[in-house]
Structure formats: C-alpha cells, structure tokens
Amino acid sequence: MKITVLKDSIGDGVKYMLISTFCFTVMQGLIKYLPQNRIPTVEQMFFRSIIPAVCCSVFMVKNQISFKIKNMKLIWIRSIVGTFSMFAFFYVLPRMPLGTSVTVKYLSPVFTALFAGVMLNEVIKPRQWVYIVMAFVGVLLLKGFDSRVATMDLFIALISAITGGLLYIILRQIGDDDHPFTVVFYFMLIASGLSAMAMLPYWVTPNMEDGLVFLGIGIAGFIAQIYMTKAFQEKDDANFLAQFKYLEAAYAIIIGYFVFDEAYTVLSFLGIVLIFTSLILTIRLKSKEKIEKSIENA
C-alpha cells in the first residue's frame, strides 16, 4: 500500500507541472534571445498571446470542445491577473540576468502558500514552510541578486511574483468546470487584445528571425499554459504544485550556461541540490499524509 500511495502522490498534477515548467523555461530563454529595446515588450506579449490563442481555437474546433464559459467572472480575473504577471515578467526578463530574474519570480510559490491558506483554507504545516524556504534559498544560491539590478526592475519583478502566486489560486478556484483549453483560450485572447491596443503606437515590424523566435515563444507558452492549467485542476493542494515552479530555476541555469554564456559557481550547483531535495521531501511528506489518511479511512 505504501508504494501505491507514493505513486499516487506523484500523480498527473506533478507530471503536468514537470512539462509546464520545462516549456516555460524554454519560452523565457527565447524571450531573452530577442534583441533588447528593438521589439517593444507589449509587442512581444502580443505574439506570445495570439499564437497560443490560435492554437487553442484550432484544437477546440477540431476536437469539438465548447467555447462556452461556466466561470465567466473567474476567467476574466484569471486573464487580467495573468496579463499583468506576464507583462511584468516580459519587461524585466531582458533587463536582468536570466538567473536573477527567475530568482525574484520564484517568490511566487511563497505567495501561493500564503494565498492558499487564506483563500482556500489549505493547512500548511511548519515542515512545508521549511521546504518552501529551502527551495527558495536554493534559487538564491543559483544566481543571487545582481548589484546592477535597478530598484524599479526589482519592484516590477516582485509584482510578477505576487500576481503569479495569486494566479495559481484562481486556477484552483476555477476547478475542472471549464476545459483547460477553454481557460487558456480566453486568457490568451484577452491578453492579446490588451497588448494589441497598447502596442499599436510602438509597432516594430519583426524580421524573419524575430518571427521564428516569436513562433517558438508562442508554441512553448501554449504547451506550458495548457499543462499548468491541467495541473491546478487536479486534486493536489495548490501550494504543493506551486513548489514545482522552482524547477524552472534549475532549467534556467542550463540554458543560461549553454546559450547565454552565464557563469555559475559551486554555490549554483548547491542551489540545484537544495531545490531537488526540497521537492523530494515535499513529495515524501505528501505521500506520508496520504498513507495516514488511507489508514484512518480503512
């Protein structure tokens, strides 16, 4: 029974988060690849949003998935909060080292834990807080804070983290009443509409290379959003799933090292060990809770 419960604790929600975090990191690397100050941030957001919206609509029509919304209010809130979070992160990503930007961003699981306790009445044990802090310390060791980071950029990155943390709670509240493709479609549609209005005065025609990068950003973002939505529609606690976002920091190290020639130290690799140790301990704690619950219900 122990093995069965342990397998259950690494269920679909965790698998979806592993796929989502990898695709988000690929997307972030492609965004950083774009020349800074040539393509406006809002234009990058537009292509990041419109491509997944088109992909979603094609898939939904082909598979006869309804465009009707059951949770209209929550879908709108999710879309607006997600757009703010996306804009803030798109803004700081080219202005900060990749490792530094994700360091600030990955405060979002901490905010998710806080929001989950207040809004979803999820009980967060002291040991879980230890694991959350351990993972974040790991992120700090990966890159740390760069002294060249401007205060305003840091503030905007914190906004991205806070809204990102709230986003997971909203997805949990939406639940599985609406299909994941429906949720992502309306988010991308609203985000592309808002960014289109903002980008018109600053439009810069992309060249062929930019177009291919935008296509990659859109496809990676599409896959990442779908699997993140599917993950938070599963039955696992929101604060538990949110901790898997820390994996993006480890992925970012690999991309930063091999693609952007960013240097890392022994402390960076110690950070990776802390992140994975935190996740393993979190999964073990989750499996232990399920075992105890199964025994109680036996």
User: What would the two tokens of residue 258 be?
Assistant: 């091999």
Give me the pLDDT at residue 162, please: 84
Q: Is residue 53 part of a domain?
A: yes
The count of domains in the chain is 1
DSSP secondary structure of the chain: -HHHHHHHHT-HHHHHHHHHHHHHHHHHHHHHHSPTTTS-HHHHHHHHHHHHHHHHHHHHHHTT-----S-HHHHHHHHHHHHHHHHHHHHHGGGS-HHHHHHHHTTHHHHHHHHHHHHS-----HHHHHHHHHHHHHHHHHT---TT--HHHHHHHHHHHHHHHHHHHHHHHHTTSS-HHHHHHHHHHHHHHHHHHHHGGG-----HHHHHHHHHHHHHHHHHHHHHHHHHTSSS-HHHHHGGGGHHHHHHHHHHHHTS-----HHHHHHHHHHHHHHHHHHHHHHHHHHHHHHHH-
Could you tell me the mean pLDDT of each successive run of 10 residues in the chain, 298 residues long? 46 85 86 74 88 93 90 89 84 69 68 77 77 76 60 78 84 82 91 90 89 92 90 74 74 74 71 75 69 54
Residue 3 lies in a domain: no
Domain encompassing residue 219 = 9-132+144-264
Q: Is 120 within the bounds of a domain?
A: yes
Residue 213 lies in a domain: yes
Give a yes or no: residue 270 inside a domain.
no
Identify whether 286 is part of a domain: no
Residue 58 pLDDT: 94
Provide the residue type at 102 as one letter.
Answer: V
Residue 25 lies in a domain: yes
With beta carbons less than 8 A apart as the criterion, state whether 45 and 90 touch: yes
269 within a domain of the structure (yes/no): no
Burial class (CB in 10 A: 0-12, 13-18, 19+), 150: exposed
